[in-house]
Amino acid sequence: MTHYILAIDQGTTSSRAIVFDEKANRIGQSQQEFPQIFPNDGWVEHDPEAIWSSTLAVCQSVLKDTGISAQEIASVGITNQRETTILWDITTGKPVYNAIVWQDRRTSVYCQSLVEQGWASKVQEKTGLLIDPYFSATKVRWVLENVEGAKQKAQAGQLAFGTVDSYLLWHLTNGQSHKTDATNAARTMAFNIHQQEWDQELIELFGIEDVIFPEVMDCSADFGDIDPQWLGASIPVNGIAGDQQAALVGQACFTPGMVKSTYGTGCFMILNTGDQALKSEHKLLTTVGYRLNGKVIYALEGSIFVAGAAIQWLRDGLKLFSDAKETQSLAQKALNDDSVYLVPAFTGLGAPYWDPDARGAMIGLTRDTSVEDIVSAGLRSVCYQTRDLVDAMSQDGANFRSLRVDGGMVVNDIMVQFLSDLLDVTVERPCVTETTALGVAFLAGMKVGIYSSLEDISQLWEADKTFQPEMDKTAGDTLYKGWQKAVNRVRTNT
């Protein structure tokens, strides 16, 4: 009998469900976008009930479309947009406010006050993170301080906090399971990554001690069983990991020194550092790569807030094309793309700048700048930001000659080739580019015995195409200097 795994991939702009077989072949997929909410400058929200309803819909849809019954699903994995914060009533399951998305910058003033009070080194020492609105803890505080009745509900022991994985798990198990995994916990700014437990000192600092925190598990664990009302049978949830860590697993980056970069709404590069939690001196994050059988593998991470979101803006905001697939042919026709730079700091700049108040700009425009040039600049902006991360990692002592890439953007050969040229490294694109879902499928499958080990999983990884540098390194360095000048034009914290 073939064993199937259902991977739930709840992302920033859409929810997806993918069914894999035991050989990591994708059998079927369903995807549904949901609305983005922008109440104020720098604010980004989602309707939690839209997250839940879209997730349930795609799970039901993929089973119907593939003809696979719930009884044939051996295990379920959940991977999710990280840091996005939801607080909900444990009696009704209703959220008390919209989900505050990882991109949201509303707590930047409070974060700056914490830095001024001298908390930066202690927060980094305990959590591996920089004090920034990006992470969950200050979002939780904002809800308690600003949403009517939220603090009282928390004080009454009625308010659960979770990242998206916890919220979905709670609903899938019909309120029976309030759990998360170590990778998601590590992104809240309230979890001690060395002791692997919620940090009471930080929780009290943020004033969020009254909310109900989820139990922190390994990435491959017994998280609970899906209630039969949702999919037609009770199915165990055995894998949870934040999307970027799931991609690290999906890319089989199990050896220290291996690195992957995922290109979705944002871009996230993660370097496996083994059992060493390396402290970055160049504003990268120390985080949990994955935790299995109680053993933690650490990682260095660089986060770019806007990658695919820049292409989405060119499509939906400027209406330069109707489908992202058109960007490859448009970029091929660009004539002046060497002089046009798009800095997509729509919600500030991430690593290594960490400038929440920076805003976007397009620089180098002339009368003969074309749509093709602007589209090319959008694609290249993602590569330039990746170079920022690579240079920071190199200064922290990383030395790698290859990079594994994944995510929706890497189907674009023009972009991936420019990435190889600019970084002067070999870039490997896997056969399965949606490795976030694949990674959590691996984690779920390990718990039920479909995969026996990480080595077993490594054997299933396969390259679709390998890109080698073709551009003269001096030319690439010159283009990158132009990018650095453009970035310095929009920075507020230089």
3-state secondary structure 338-386: CCCEEECCECEECCCCCECCCCCEEECCCCCCCHHHHHHHHHHHHHHHH
Confidence band, pLDDT 50/70/90 cuts, at residue 350:
confident
For residue 484, the one-letter residue type is Q
Burial degree of 330 (CB within 10 A; 0-12, 13-18, 19+): buried
Q: What pLDDT is stored for residue 252 in this prediction?
A: 93
Token pair recorded at residue 8 = 């739930």
C-alpha span between 7 and 237 (Å, rounded) = 10
Q: What pLDDT is stored for residue 2 in this prediction?
A: 67
Backbone φ/ψ region at 69: left (φ over 0), alpha (ψ -120 to 50), beta: beta
pLDDT at 80 > cutoff 70: yes
**Phi/psi at 53 (5° precision):** -65, -40
Q: What pLDDT is stored for residue 54 in this prediction?
A: 97
Distance of CA 163 to the CA centre of its chain: 12
Provide the percentage of residues in the chain whose pLDDT is more than 90. Answer: 76
Q: Are 287 and 193 in contact (CB under 8 A)?
A: yes
Which contiguous run of DSSP H or E holds residue 224? strand 220-226
Q: What pLDDT is stored for residue 158 in this prediction?
A: 96
Provide the percentage of residues in the chain whose pLDDT is more than 70. Answer: 99
The percent helix, strand, coil of the chain (3-state, each to 5) is: 35, 25, 35
Q: Dihedral (C-alpha) 431, 434, 436, 437: value to the nearest 10 degrees?
A: -100
**Omega before 352 within 30 of 0, i.e. cis:** yes
pLDDT at 381 > cutoff 70: yes
Measured N-to-C along each axis, helices 371-395 and 473-490 cross at an angle, to the nearest 10 degrees, of: 100
Confidence band, pLDDT 50/70/90 cuts, at residue 168:
very high
Give residue-wise pLDDT tens across range 84-103: 999 999 999 999 999 999 98
pLDDT at 202 > cutoff 90: yes
For residues 10-33, average pLDDT: 93
C-alpha span between 134 and 130 (Å, rounded) = 9
From 223, 231, 278, 194, select the one nearest 80 (Cα to Cα).
223
For residue 31, the one-letter residue type is Q
Q: What 3-state class would DSSP assign to 468?
A: coil
Give residue-wise pLDDT tens across range 114-148: 999 999 999 999 999 999 998 999 999 999 999 99
For residues 9-17, average pLDDT: 93
For residues 193-200, average pLDDT: 97
Give residue-wise pLDDT tens across range 433-446: 778 999 999 999 99
For residues 326-338, average pLDDT: 85
Q: Is the dihedral of CA 432, 436, 440, 446 positive or negative?
A: positive
Higher pLDDT, 305 or 300: 300
Token pair recorded at residue 239 = 């894998």
Q: What pLDDT is stored for residue 283 in this prediction?
A: 84
Please identify which residue in the block is written with the tokens 């993602």.
382
From 69, 89, 220, select the one nearest 153 (Cα to Cα).
89
Task: Kindly report the average pLDDT of the chain as a whole number.
Answer: 93
421-424: Cβ within 8 A, 24+ apart: 421/469, 421/470, 421/471, 421/476, 422/383, 422/384, 422/386, 422/387, 422/471, 422/476, 422/479, 422/480, 423/383, 423/386, 423/387, 423/390, 423/469, 424/469, 424/473, 424/476
Confidence band, pLDDT 50/70/90 cuts, at residue 402:
confident
Give residue-wise pLDDT tens across range 407-430: 888 989 999 999 999 999 899 999
Q: What pLDDT is stored for residue 1 in this prediction?
A: 60
C-alpha span between 77 and 249 (Å, rounded) = 13
Exposure pattern of 285-311 as b/e (b: 16+ CB <10 Å)?
A: bbbbbbbbeeebbbbbbbbbbbbbbbb
Which contiguous run of DSSP H or E holds residue 202? helix 200-206
C-alpha span between 186 and 130 (Å, rounded) = 12
In DSSP terms, 355 is beta-bridged to 349
Confidence band, pLDDT 50/70/90 cuts, at residue 67:
very high
Q: Are 272 and 454 in contact (CB under 8 A)?
A: no
Give me the DSSP letters along 124-166.
HHHHS--S-TTSHHHHHHHHHHHSTTHHHHHHTT-EEEEEHHH
